[in-house]
Amino acid sequence: MKIMKFGGTSVGTPERMKSVVNLINQGEKVIVVLSAMSGTTNALIEIAGMLVSGNNASALNRIEALRARYHDVINELYSTQEYRNEALKMADEHFNYISSFVNGTFSRSMEKSIIAEGELLSTNLFSLLLQEMKIKSELIPALNFMRIDKYGEPDLYYITENLNRELAKYPDTDIFVTQGFICRNSFGETDNLKRGGSDYTASLAGAAIGASEIEIWTDINGFHNNDPRYVDNTFPVRQLSFDEAAELAYFGAKILHPSTINPAREKNIPVRLKNTMDPADPGTIISRDYELKDYKAVAAKDGITAIRIRSDRMLMAYGFLRKVFEIFESYRTPIDMITTSEVSVALTIDNTLYLKEIEKELSELGHVEIEENQSIICIVGDFRTERTGSAPEIFEALDTVPLKMIAYGGSPYSISLLIDTKDKVKSLKLLNQHLFPEIYGN
Residues that bind Mg ion (CB under 5 A): 7, 196
Which member of 2, 3, 4, 7 binds ligand ADP (CB under 6 A)? 7
Indicate the residue among 167 and 193 with the shorter CB distance to ligand ADP.
193
Q: Is 197 in the site for ligand ASP (CB under 6 A)?
A: yes
The footprint of ligand ASP on residues 401-440 (CB under 6 A) is none
Q: Is 8 in the site for ligand ASP (CB under 6 A)?
A: yes
Report how far Cα 344 is from the mean position of its chain's Cα atoms.
34
Indicate the residue among 116 and 306 with the shorter CB distance to Mg ion.
116
- Integer Cα distance of 211 and 121 in angstroms: 26
Indicate the residue among 217 and 295 with the shorter CB distance to ligand ASP.
217
Q: Is 228 in the site for ligand ADP (CB under 6 A)?
A: yes
Q: CB of 66 within 8 A of CB of 48?
A: no
Indicate the residue among 154 and 236 with the shorter CB distance to ligand ADP.
236
- Integer Cα distance of 95 and 83 in angstroms: 18
Q: Is 66 in the site for ligand ASP (CB under 6 A)?
A: no
Q: Is 196 in the site for ligand ASP (CB under 6 A)?
A: yes
Q: Is 181 in the site for ligand ASP (CB under 6 A)?
A: yes
Stretch that binds ligand ADP, among 91-99, 140-148, 153-161, 219-227 (CB under 6 A): 219-227
Give me the phi and psi of 302, to 5 degrees please: -95, 180
> How do 137-139 and 175-179 pair as beta strands?
parallel
Q: Is 260 in the site for ligand ADP (CB under 6 A)?
A: no
Q: Is 9 in the site for ligand ADP (CB under 6 A)?
A: yes
Tally: H helices and E strands in the chain = 15, 16
Q: How far is the CB of 44 from ligand ASP (least distance, A)?
A: 9
Q: Is 118 in the site for ligand ADP (CB under 6 A)?
A: no
Q: Is 362 in the site for ligand ADP (CB under 6 A)?
A: no
Q: Is 224 in the site for ligand ADP (CB under 6 A)?
A: yes
Which member of 138, 219, 371, 382 binds ligand ADP (CB under 6 A)? 219
Which member of 40, 201, 218, 262 binds ligand ADP (CB under 6 A)? 218
Q: Is 254 in the site for ligand ADP (CB under 6 A)?
A: yes
- Integer Cα distance of 258 and 329 in angstroms: 20
Q: Which amino acid is at 376?
A: I
Binding residues with ligand ASP: total (CB under 6 A): 13
Give me the phi and psi of 345, to 5 degrees please: -135, 140
Q: How far is the CB of 118 from ligand ASP (least distance, A)?
A: 5
DSSP assignment of 1-65 equals -EEEEE-TGGGSSHHHHHHHHHHH-SSS-EEEEE-PPTTHHHHHHHHHHHHHTT-HHHHHHHHHH
Q: CB of 43 within 8 A of CB of 62?
A: yes
Q: CB of 224 within 8 A of CB of 237?
A: yes
The footprint of ligand ADP on residues 281-340 (CB under 6 A) is 299
Q: Which residue is nearest to ligand ASP (CB)?
A: 198
Strand order in the sheet with 295-310: 338-340, 344-349, 295-310, 367-381, 414-420, 405-411
Q: CB of 33 within 8 A of CB of 257?
A: no
Indicate the residue among 41 and 239 with the shorter CB distance to ligand ASP.
41
Print the binding letters for residues 13-52 with ligand ASP: x by CB under 6 A, - otherwise.
----------------------xx----x-----------
The footprint of ligand ADP on residues 180-209 (CB under 6 A) is 196
- Residue 154: which of ligand ASP, ligand ADP, Mg ion, none does it interact with, CB under 5 to 8 A by kind? none
Separation of first and last alpha carbons in the chain: 45
Q: CB of 17 within 8 A of CB of 11?
A: yes
- Integer Cα distance of 414 and 39 in angstroms: 34
Q: Is 198 in the site for ligand ASP (CB under 6 A)?
A: yes
Helices (H), 104-150: 108-115, 117-132
Q: In the complex, which residues of this chain contact ligand ASP (CB under 6 A)?
A: 7-8, 35-36, 41, 118, 180-181, 195-199
